Structure 1
């Protein structure tokens, strides 16, 4: 199994009535660096990247990763649907808890990247530097899609009530690890086996279940409005590093409905942004190339300019 180089400590805090799980590395009195994971992921997913940080960087930083509500060891609220503004509210409460006076450095992956980009535009004074890892936003929508979107949301709520959206259980830890490597063939088996223990948990019957609420699968009933997102991007005052993998995730997901070129066009609304690319990597680039990503982040976060 993968051998951890930098052990983490776990703590819990109450944020907006939800018991949140935090995982921390580095120097408890260092400069805060907050890591926000993506959809159907957990805070422990950052371990490989943290292990790749240099000793000097780790000694200067208080690194905090957290499980979003309904993921990992964070409490699952009494809800059948998750709302994007709640993620912003949780992040705001977290930063008020861990760094009420000081602007922080923030890294977000995928869903976490989308959330952190929005947060940095709404609370620009709270962020010193921002790293967005494949948080592309969503395809543009049209008002005519609203009735169908709301109808789909209602249909999926019914499916959830009827148990049709339950997450698949796994027979054992090896099966969970195999699920992770199937999704990401670049993920080494030793890393997959280590991560599986944090990504899933055995229930009373001995079956392993993913630590994610099935309600996360339900579509957002509100349309994604690009014009609103760009207005928020314009208000980001932090320097932004937008990192993408050499595998074109957007082409794989959206089949031409939303492209990397469109994403790059949207980034022009961000006042201070650099775009970087990690070679031989897919969407889970912090798993595929943790050393290359760690060097990129260290250079960006420590650059005095």
Structure 2
């Protein structure tokens, strides 16, 4: 199994009636702003370990498990909303970087997000531009444009999926052994090595012992995250948020075109790049020999990209 070079420590922070699990590396410093790492959908904060280990500088790093993922409680809800992640992040920054009116006067942070976390980071940087010094988005592309006449069917799909969830039809798969979780991770990402898969599996799942003494490893994610968002994606809202970002942005894209794999020609990198023109100071870099989980595939290069950008 992979051996962490810089083991994290855990603490729980009260956030909006939830107990938020946060992984920390290093110690607070007056010389550098905190570095906040936010993970993607169906992932956990421990997923950043490989990048943290590859960093040259020892700095104060904060990585939360989003609500309903990892060791953070979901609050018993049956679906999740993007706006909640924005508010949760604000609560966490108030705790670790100081609180001021609308974030004014609080210490700035460097923010890195992967996938869903990248989308959250971009939106938050538009809501609270004064709080972000540097912004890094790893494969967080947003969603395809939707038309208003798609809204009725979307609401219907949302309701139907809620019913399926409450009937127990959307439960996440369980595994008889932790190595089954590791195999699942490697199937999803063929570049993931067995040692890293075994390490991730031990943090990505938990064993619920059965009455007969057998093991049942369950993914640390709420099934409610699978429910489609009731609201259609609004490109105009996203562009308005992007236009308010004042921090320099580094956008890192993997050589495997994730958008094409997910959406074919319905949503393309060219379309996303057009959206990025609304950001005042954005740079796009491509990472070779990497897929969507690029922080697992090429952690040393990702760490170098982040550190060089933050130091520039």
TM-score by length of 2: 0.95
- Whole-angstrom distance in 2 between the partners of 1:295 and 1:76: 34
Instruction: Name structure 1 gaps, 5 residues minimum.
Output: none
Residue in 2 that maps onto 1:109: 114
Distance 2:305 2:264 in 1: 29
1:160-180 Cα offsets, whole Å, 9 max, x none, are 010000001001011000000
- The residue aligned with 2:249 is 240
Q: CA RMSD in A?
A: 0.7
Is the partner of 1:157 in helix, strand or coil? helix
Aligned position for 2:308: 299
Q: Secondary structure at the match of 1:106?
A: strand
**Structure 2 SS opposite 1:31:** coil
Note the C-alpha offset of 1:134.
0.5
Q: Which runs of 4+ in 1 moved over 6 A?
A: none
Tell me how far apart the structure 2 counterparts of residues 107 and 47 of structure 1 sit (CA, whole Å). Answer: 14
* Structure 2 counterparts to residues 134-283 of structure 1, below 5 A: 134-205=139-210, 206-283=215-292
Compute the displacement of 1:75 (Å): 1.0
Mapping for residues 73-84 of structure 1, pairs under 5 Å: 73-84=71-82
| Aligned twin of 1:67 | 65
State the 1:204 CA deviation.
2.5
Report the counterpart of residue 40 of structure 1 in structure 2: 42
Distance 2:94 2:256 in 1: 36
What TM-score does the superposition give when structure 1 sets the normalisation length? 0.97
Gaps of 5+ in 2: 99-105
Q: Matched residue pairs, number?
A: 299
